[in-house]
Amino acid sequence: MKKIPVNITPPPIQVSSAGCDSANLLTGLLTLEQARAKILESITPITQSINVNIMESFGSVLAEDITSPINVPNYKNSAMDGYAVKAHDLPSTATKKFKLVGTSWAGKPYLGEIKENQCIRIMTGAKVPEGTDTVIMQEHISKEDDHIIISAGHKAEQNVRCAGEDIKQGDTVLKKGKLIKAAEMGLLASLGFPTVNVLRPLKVSFFSTGDELKGVGETLEDGQIYDSNRYTIFGMLQKLNVEINDMGVIPDDRKKIEVAFLNAADQSDVIITSGGVSVGDADYVKETLEKLGQINFWKLAIKPGKPLAFGKVKQAMFIGLPGNPVSVMATYYQLGLPAIQHLSGNQNYTQVIAKARVTEPFYKRPGRLDFQRAIFSYDEKGELVVKGVGMQASHILSGMSLANCFAIIPTESGTVHPGDVIDIQPFEGLI
């Protein structure tokens, strides 16, 4: 498997060297960086914690610093299968015989005495017996009855793991705000913790809006489409440790939209909708929200995903994604996901950016920051290359499925040509 060279600094939203503000001044559109900054500064991360079994902690955020109650490893142990000896018995020239007087097994240490020129058979992870300090690999000795023969050239204390080599008792091992994944689960277990205090999972409610939307399994009439956004949003949320509340499709009806928002606000930390945030005549989302909450309606200088609403309905954070299916995914990833991560208390959230050489043109007009759907791969030299998936319009959801990354084309850039190097955001594991 080839490794993707990654940039792991905090999510650098890529903008042209002409600067993000230029888009704002010229067009009245908000840049992605401006929108992201406004969103993040308006969020107060949650603080309520719960105690969970570490087996159930995957994807949670630590609510407290973790201090180690023990040394890890807890005792001096062998890194190899071999023979434990005293270093000062080792030969400085030629070879020397050692009498084998016992065995130290992992979990069953040798407790007897060890005299001069004696050795102990020792297994990987077994305690290095008192009086010995060096392990000779079993491949480096020869055997003769109840003796082993060791040649010169071994180093004192080789193949021995010291107590506290990984973690010392009293060390702060994990910091509050850290996302718990496989390594952290194992680390907590290695310290002996059966449970851990984590920030409670967020409750996320979502619904689609639009009279044209039909549910799957229903028959489409003229002018209708299936509601796909709710499934995409549900899929994206499943990557997160959140409680998901699917509220279905709400028709373009003032009263029903208001009831849906109030309902969602009462039972959730986050409300996500799709559609109805642009200026269509029958979209009542905007009107309702202006009445119910403090909502910003933005036109973003990004493509796809120009209209976006963000704010609060009662105490719940509201993210109003655009209606077009690709815009839903792009704006969720660029703005919704960082917002949810920040609210959840995750202090280390980053997005991976890699550089790739373009092999086919990406057509573009200057003015907005493009997230074109693209496929990265490796060329014959092992270098990362990228090409588009074909049609780039914001309703072409099949392109999102063909793609494995966003190709990020800077705001002021026009068409990008073969040979140019651009930033890409791989999807793998992210959305």
Q: Which residue's CB is nearer to ligand AMP, number 151 or number 224?
A: 224
Query: Residue 274 binds which one of ligand AMP, Mg ion, none, with CB within 5 to 8 A depending on kind?
Result: ligand AMP
Q: Which residue's CB is nearer to ligand AMP, number 329 or number 403?
A: 329
Contacts of residue 264, Cβ cutoff 8 Å, sequence gap at least 6: 205, 207, 245, 247, 271, 313, 316
User: What b/e readout covers 311-324, taking b as 16+ CB neighbours within 10 angstroms?
Assistant: bbbeebbbbbbbbb
304 touching ligand AMP, by CB under 6 A: no
Q: Which residue's CB is nearer to ligand AMP, number 275 or number 410?
A: 275
**Structure token digits, residue 18:** 């002409």
- Indicate which single residue of 276, 320, 388, 410 sits in contact with Mg ion (rule: CB under 5 A): 276
331 touching ligand AMP, by CB under 6 A: no
CB 343 to ligand AMP: min, Å: 24
SS3 333: helix
CB 213 to Mg ion: min, Å: 8
Q: Which residue's CB is nearer to Mg ion, number 184 or number 283?
A: 283
- Indicate which single residue of 31, 208, 331, 372 sits in contact with ligand AMP (rule: CB under 6 A): 208
In terms of Cα–Cα distance, which of 146, 167, 48 is closest to 102? Answer: 146
**Length of the chain, in residues:** 431
C-alpha dist (Å) from residue 324 to 2, 270, 282, 307, 408:
34, 21, 16, 10, 19
- Indicate which single residue of 133, 166, 212, 420 sits in contact with ligand AMP (rule: CB under 6 A): 212
Stretch that binds ligand AMP, among 56-64, 167-175, 186-194, 269-277 (CB under 6 A): 269-277
**Structure token digits, residue 246:** 């699917």
**Structure token digits, residue 6:** 């990654």
- Indicate which single residue of 11, 129, 177, 275 sits in contact with Mg ion (rule: CB under 5 A): 275
CB 10 to ligand AMP: min, Å: 31
CB 344 to ligand AMP: min, Å: 25
**Residue 65, H or E segment:** none
- Indicate which single residue of 210, 304, 325, 345 sits in contact with Mg ion (rule: CB under 5 A): 210
In terms of Cα–Cα distance, which of 405, 384, 385, 421 is closest to 3? Answer: 384
- Indicate which single residue of 184, 227, 269, 423 sits in contact with ligand AMP (rule: CB under 6 A): 227
DSSP state of 379: -
**Structure token digits, residue 341:** 């991560």
Strand spans (E) along 300-382: 302-303, 307-313, 316-321, 354-358, 369-378
Q: How many residues sit close enough to ligand AMP to count as binding (CB under 6 A)?
A: 19
From CA 21, how far away is CA 368, in angstroms rounded? 12
Q: Which residues bind Mg ion (CB under 5 A)?
A: 210, 275-276, 283
Chain residues in the site for ligand AMP (CB under 6 A): 208, 210, 212-213, 225, 227-230, 274-276, 278, 280, 283, 322-325
